[in-house]
Structure 1
Amino acid sequence: MTAFQTPPAAPQVTDRLAGRFRAARGSADDAAMIEGWAGRAGWSLGRGDLELFTRHRPGGLLIGLLDGRPVSAMATAGYDNGFCFTGALVVDPGFRGRGIGAATADAALAHLTDLPVGLEAPPELREFFAARGFITRWRTIAFASAVPAPRPTNPHVMPLSADQLGPAAAFDGHCFPAERTALAVDWASGRDRYAVGYVQDNRLHGYGVLRPGFGAARIGPLYATEPHVAASLFDALAEYAGQRGARAIAIDIPEPNPAAIALCETRGLSHDSETFRMVRPGPSAAERAVDLTVLYGLTSRELG
């Protein structure tokens, strides 16, 4: 079942938006427009992220329309265990400050009645989501800096091969509350993405993905069994980004993993922004735990 098959309730809107704002289902054709909004706002959405997302969740984009004009968007993915993740809440910078973001979020949540839902809330919307039953699980910190100087290459780090995509997706399964193998594989092997794995004794001990972003190349996800594995993967991805002309690099990390914070600090990255991972539990489905000791970098704040 996809998230948007649940009959929606009427979204809540502010008085000044009543009668003017409505939500409609988007498509892959809207991805470039939404990424443009995110880029102008300085947000962390990577280039190509939404195009890839819509291949796996064709009905997962919601577009907010003000007087018939597209002004906002939000993406929602439903998974087989009932869990949903909603994010990529983006408002056209020219229309911010009018309550459109809140109206868009309410429209998206109206489709998710009685389902467990996770999201990354910006600080200014934390109370908004708490009032709608969401509980804070952790803080997510975006770290960014100029691309670090190259470090010695670890011989165990190599480009991720096709036969390693299955074990790589298994890492994702330990660090996300639902199984999303097809998305994880496509994320690592899709166009304009570069993935490396740490292989020792014929076993994959972690992997990371580099993708283009707005203003900075983005690392995500980054999974590793040990801090030195994460560091070696990060260094290889950062060096590749620099070789391809990137001037800056960014990564989103869960604050409860101190080794991830230490990695960013030793590589000269600084705190750029933050969000809060929040979850609204479902009435019957248990929330699946994630292993934050292995999670050094989120796939993306927008998609989980």
Structure 2
Amino acid sequence: MTQDNFLVRPMTLDELKLALSWAEAEGWNPGIDDANNFYIADPKGFLIGELNGEPISSISVVKYHSNFNFIGLYIVKPEWRKQGFGLKTWQEALKLINNQPAALDGVIQQVDNYRKFGFNPSHTHYRYQGVIQGQISQEVIDLKRIDFEQFCRYDNQYFPALRPQFLQTWINQPNGCGYGIIQGENLVGYGVIRQAIEGFKIGPLFADYQSIAEQLLLALATYANGKNIYLDVPNINQQALALAERYQMKPIFECVRMYTHKAPSMDWTKVFGVTTLELG
């Protein structure tokens, strides 16, 4: 798409690193390995906008499945805002979706704008921040020791699509770790923590019970070694909110999960932390 020397096209991996540097400048605090982690989810799903050859905007449309697409990384460099380039970038993203169901996490100020394009609010995500003294219980095991197919099936209970390629990279990233808990022969919870620009981010944190989520939270906290931890919690899971607050974590940011079609059928009471606000 070209107009007034403005072009929106697929990103390279290096350009995704550039877009994440913009996200850092916006205070989004991405993970230090997020470019590689994100790109594997859908290499064709990241778009960059160029004006006269200069990158000035970005957006992602990760197509997990025809029934679930996720929009994120929607950024226009500050000096180019309110000139129509953001809308043109957005419109190219919608073309990729082609009227299929889509979701996003929008900042409060943009909710009404997203409504105009058919996105409807579902619930809120709160970003919690805090320092937690970690400990690893006997039940907790390294995710890499868990059968990968079993792990993917469990993840799919609390994420609306199978995402094996992404998960393979996510649990093996060099500056992070993951833990799970198996009871009997069943996986009953797992979580991943990764180093961010500042501190560490946990996501996802899925668990059948609050007690399982708590064991995983404490185990993951050992990796942060006394640094800040960030966790994006759905406000429709009261036990998740209570768990974050039990460890004196404080909400510092909120955004709204929005869907174009009927929200996916999943049990949010088992979602104690979403994977990322950029990829769902």
TM-score by length of 1: 0.84
Q: How has the CA–CA distance of structure 1 residues 241 and 98 changed in structure 2, closer, same or farther, with 3 Å as cutoff?
A: farther
Equivalent position of 1:19 in the other structure? 4
Give the aligned partner of residue 89 of structure 2.
104
Taking the aligned partners of 1:49 and 1:215, their CA distance within structure 2 comes to 13
- Cα distance, 1:202 vs structure 2: 3.8
Q: Which residue of 1 aligns with 2:216?
A: 233
Q: Which has the higher strand share?
A: 2
Q: Classify 1:175/1:102 alpha carbon distance in 2 versus 1 (closer, same or farther; 3 Å).
A: farther
In the TM superposition, what is the alpha-carbon distance from 1:269 to its structure 2 partner?
0.9
Deviations 1:111-130 (A, max 9, x none): 22221111111112111110
Q: Deviations over 1:138-179 (max 9, x none)?
A: 11111112x2233x5321112213433322222321122222
8 Å Cα contact 2:59/2:74 also seen in 1? yes
**Which residue, 269, 272, 276 being the options, matches 1:296?**
272
Q: What does 1:254-265 align with in structure 2 at a 5 Å threshold?
A: 254-265=234-245
Residue 21 (structure 2) pairs with residue 36 (structure 1): yes
Read off the aligned partner of 1:42 and give its amino acid letter: G
What does residue 161 of structure 2 align with? Answer: 178
Hey, what does 2:133 align to over in structure 1? 149
Question: What is the aligned partner in structure 2 of residue 92 from structure 1?
Answer: 77
Structure 2 Cα separation of the partners of residues 238 and 44 of structure 1: 18
What residue is the counterpart of 1:216 in the other structure? 199
* Contact in 2 for aligned 1:252/1:297 (Cα 8 Å): yes
Could you tell me which residue of structure 2 aligns to residue 63 of structure 1? 48
Separation (CA, whole Å) in 2 of partners of 1:153 and 1:79? 33
Query: Are residue 252 (structure 1) and residue 232 (structure 2) matched?
Result: yes
Distance 1:280 1:31, change over 3 A: same
1:295 offset after TM fit, Å? 0.7
Q: Tell me which amino acid in the other structure corresponds to 1:248.
A: N
* AA at the equivalent of 2:203: G
Which amino acid letter does the alignment assign opposite residue 216 of structure 2?
L
Give, in whole Å, the separation in 1 of the partners of 2:222 and 2:197. 18
Contact in 1 for aligned 2:70/2:102 (Cα 8 Å): yes
Q: 1:254, 1:296 within 8 Å by CA — same for their partners in 2?
A: yes
Secondary structure at the aligned position of 1:299 is classed as coil
Unaligned runs of 5+ in 1: 1-9, 12-17
The alignment status of 1:271 with 2:271, answered yes or no, reads no
TM-aligned CA deviation for residue 99 of structure 1 = 5.3
CA RMSD of superposed structures (Å): 2.2
Moved more, 202-211 or 182-191: 182-191
- Counterparts of 1:275-290 in structure 2, within 5 Å, are 275-281=255-261, 288-290=264-266
Q: Secondary structure at the match of 1:79?
A: strand
Aligned: 1:116 with 2:101: yes
CA offsets, 1:196-225, max 9 Å, x none? 112233432101001111212100000100
Structure 1 segments, 4+ long, off by >6 Å, are none
SS at 1:293 equivalent: helix
1:40–1:93 Cα contact (<8 Å) kept: no
Worse-superposed segment, 104-113 or 216-225? 104-113
| Larger mean Cα displacement after TM superposition, 22-31 or 204-213 | 22-31
Equivalent residue number for residue 79 of structure 1? 64
Tell me which amino acid in the other structure corresponds to 1:190. Answer: Q
Q: What residue identity is the alignment partner of 1:30?
A: E
Counterpart contact for 1:37–1:93, Cα < 8 Å = no
Q: Rate the CA distance shift 1:271–1:96 in 2: closer, same or farther, 3 A.
A: farther
Secondary structure of 2:276's counterpart equals coil
Provide structure 2 residue ranges, at least 5 long, that are not aligned to the other structure.
Answer: none
Distance 1:171 1:88, change over 3 A: farther
Residue 27 (structure 2) pairs with residue 47 (structure 1):
no
- Normalising by structure 2, we get a TM-score of 0.91
Give distance in 1, aligned partners of 2:115 and 2:150. 36
User: Could you tell me which of 118, 122, 127 is aligned with 1:133?
Assistant: 118
